[in-house]
Chains A and B, each alone.
Chain A
Amino acid sequence: MLIESEFMFDVPPEVVYDGLLDPDILASALPGTDRLDLTGEDRYEGEMEASVGPVTAARFSVVVELKDKVRPESFDMHVDGKGKAGFVNGIAKVAFEAKNGGTVMKYRADLQVGGRVASVGQRLLESVGKMMSKQGLEAVSRSIDARLAPADGGAVATTGTGLASSASLPATGGKRKILLIVLAIVAATLLVLAL
């Protein structure tokens, strides 16, 4: 399964890139995450549980590793999630390009979904991907709004519109928020497991 997406940031690639190295706020952005720990350099391990409709069996453990880092251009994110109902693994390639003072982040995840969720849930897989992606972005937007509101003294317009769409973020988002966005997309791909 291929999930591709593109996001616009108003900050330069270095800022975006560095933001991804901050692990501490990831869990709050991922629905159903019990824990997510940094267990080595660029390696995260966690436990997640998700439910979609009547499906409540999608409990899985997940390992995310960042590899082939070329600051501030790109890195690969290796994802390995396993649960009783199936698995998802693969590589998400994330690339950053400077554009008009900001950054275009391109995200392309080539994921293998397997087991029962793949063999029984095909009808819903793509929709789940879309929905989770959208939810993740909305959560990120809300989080950014909340963080930026006191500093800027005003509302911030952010949008989260799902796959193959772009989200524009304000310049002062900070690296933590950017991490949230990227990891929310990872979450979306992982939560495909939820069927």
Chain B
Amino acid sequence: MSQNFRLEKEGLINRSKKISFKFNGKSYFGYEGDTLASALIANGVHLVGRSFKYHRPRGFFGAGVDDPYALVQLIRNNESIPNVKATEQELFEGLEAKSVNCWPNVNFDIGGINNFLRIFLPAGFYYKTFMWPKSFWYKIYEPFIRKAAGFGVVSHEPDKERYEHKYEYCDLLITGSGPSGLASAYSAAKNGAKVILAEDKPRFGGSLLTSDVNIGNESGKEWADKIITELKGMPNVVVKNRAQVFGYYDHNMLVMSERLTEHLPKSDKFTPKQKLWYIRAKEVVISSGSIERPLVFGNNDTPGVLLSSAAKEYMKVYGVLVGKKPIIFTNNDSAYETAIEFKKNGVDPIVLDSRKELSSDLIKEAKSLGINIKFEYVVVNANGYRKVKSADIAKISDDKTTLGKIENIVCDCICVSGFWTPTIHLASQSGGKTKFNEEIDAFIPSESKQNETTVGSANGIFNLQDSLNTSFEAGYNLSKKITNEDNKLSVPTVVEKKNSKHDKFWCVPLPKGKKYKRFLDFQNDVAVSDIEIAIREGYRSIEHVKRYTTLGMATDQGKTSNLNGLQLVSNIENKLVPEVGHTTFRPPYTPVSIGAIVGREVGKHSKPTRKSPMHSWHEKNNAVFVDAGLWLRPRFYKRGNETLFDASKREAENVRKNVGVCDVTTLGKIDVKGPDAAEFLNRVYTNAWLKLPVGKARYGVMLREDGIVMDDGTTTRVSENHYHMTTTTAQAANVLSHLEYYLQIVWPELNVNVVSTTEQWAGAAIAGPKSRELLQKLFPDTDCSNEGLPFMGFIETKLFGVYARIFRISFSGELAYEVNVESDYGNFMWEKIIEIGNEFKIQPYGTEALSTLRIEMGHVAGSELDGRTTPFDTSLDGLLSKKKDFIGKRSMQKEAFISSKREKIVGVVPLDKKTSIPEGSYIVKDANTKLPNPKLGHVSASCWSVEYNNPFSLAIIKDGKNMIGQKLFALSPLKNKSIPVEIVSSHYVDPKGERVRS
């Protein structure tokens, strides 16, 4: 298909490179340098999709980020990407796009029926209905509404693209490469500052690409090209296009998303699609420019109605005519540039200017070109459904309230200009205040909160010379503060056309008897009448208006609608706009890819994985792993087609019968050193530590100040001033911070150092009746007898020449030892233990068997010490020293903690000795009473007792001690189990603890 709307030569596109693409299944072609939007317009396509609520036809209203709609579904690289903005998407060979939010297709959309029902669907209608019958909202109405909502479609498949992050520091970050951005960047860079210049669009230069001005003796564009080229060559400058600074965060941290491959057909697998820059800037220059405001009139959302600045950009940048019978409808001079541009390209525009006849450079030029200008004229209504066919226009009275006789003129586009709104989002995000500027009827930054300076039209300066003067000045002053250099450039002189004053008028009154919808928010279909209803119903705060009507809550975040909305509210409420106030700007300025925010921490790498030195041995030996915090631990070692239950039972039995070995490297280890180490331990543990002899270990419990158990473990006195503390795997990091807190803040007088040695030592727990024999063979020259190495004893020795530490401690309740060697030797130790252990039928055991063993011994662990239990609850109160003070002791007196109703740990055995009690069950007196069924307590841990070959559980129940012997029920409604049980002591096996001492 030929490009009927493509101009002969105008534009910055590369006409030597044709690009073919598809839209809604139809093939077209455009040129390199086109956006999808410009290429479609060149092909005469204006209908891009359907609006959110009424499913009205939507066309292109802007030429970039300002477009309030233009969302398509893009197919790139076999990925279907939702909600891509056609006015920003650059054209690439083979691009495919589809309209969204329409069915069966964009030309005939069933949803369009809403448009005819629209009088029944005013703002907030859904709050007033869909309430009967009761169940219908969720079952009938809501699913229907959900189906109609949403735009693009996203598949379930993961994202194949790559996203990366980059942390940068600079002196000046400049956001936008328009005249003011270029000027500040250039003068700062020349003054020695480290500068980052970010431009959202592919091309640098901003308004200079389309405005007809001269800077020095060059055209605006030539000047921009020259400056950019020079900046790119400077070592202290980073220049980025396709880079949007979307967020201004605390302490001058700004975030920029750089699009690296979206303009290409596809990318190699190592180049990220986007790079997210975290930029910590000493100073920020906000040169984000301004966005043209729409004028509001009947059916102003019809495709073919668009911003006059966009029409100009399509001509000058893309060489595309948005129409051949244009109407320019304006309240200010800038639209005349568009009119003149049309004329230069052989198209005769009609200009409707709401102002009384006046004169200015531009108006003179327009007249001299013979352009038809109608002053005091407005567009009343746009006719046409899928595309503008004609406009109803009329003369308007001085006071802008009454319209003259309606005339109809044929046209194929209406270019509107309601003056300019500075883009102050970043300035506001920084926490800076804004003020309303009566001159331009818009907000501009006032006092800045962080180190930011706003320049150019973003600061409400629409005159190029002033803009350059202030920007050069800003770049110089800000850089001088940082570099202390003093290289000031002279500002080039500008030849530009002087503008006459704009007209504050922006909304055309309805002609008598007409109910035209006059739209403010084109995506969410918010019309003037909706705002009126909201206020009529008392939703008067601007936030209420916004939420009730959804004004400015669409994906464009109200870039073109918010200010007109404010104007309207201020008119109705008869307040000044600043009294109405605007809703706060929050990041992101434009929607930003979630993938980019996350970066590379995805899939398996969403969190780090910690591994023990024996990890690969476990892998080779069919270990099934379990997450313990960030650690991976063997849960059991699978043999054949064993289940978890079989394997853990086998492993646990083997520990009770022979000997087993378990990787305990992950247990936290902390070296506590110093003259005051003993005193320190005495304060952090609940029991006494001053008299622990060298070469001995002791079990200890730590509390939080609120009296809840924090952690437990054994600590060994290695030498006079040196203790080796162990913690649980889960609490290791917290305990270290906890200890540092008390040493550095609470008890600075103590001379103690704590450092984590968790990874210095590989640990193997050797447990079982045959563990001593095995140990003796592992350490032939060491006396491993009960006398030589008694319970809670500790010795340093050598394992086949490798330095080793042996602790005689037991978690399993069996005769057991823990051997530590330096981590590089961990695997060597492990293989030796297995090799020599074979004759004792050694088996490695995982965490599942480990918990079986500890449960039937009644040793508490994480499932009991869950951050809610006290030493009393867990039968650790024996370890509460009466003599000395310690962390959390004062809380032990709390009424609830000592009350007899308090829950206490007990053992639970099913009466049938067969049925396992699911963890998380509750113990109750009566299984069949009506709900709510009063609970005595919960089952914290369950196992199959390998000692007695029947199920056994630990539970924490009210008045536990006196419950022993009672017959109760364990209920698990989730698994609908009701199990008759007997309460027994939590120490099910070896209550006297003889084995560990044997």
Binding partners A and B: no
A→B interface (CB under 8 Å): none
Measuring CB to CB, which residues of chain B are less than 8 angstroms from any residue of chain A?
Answer: none
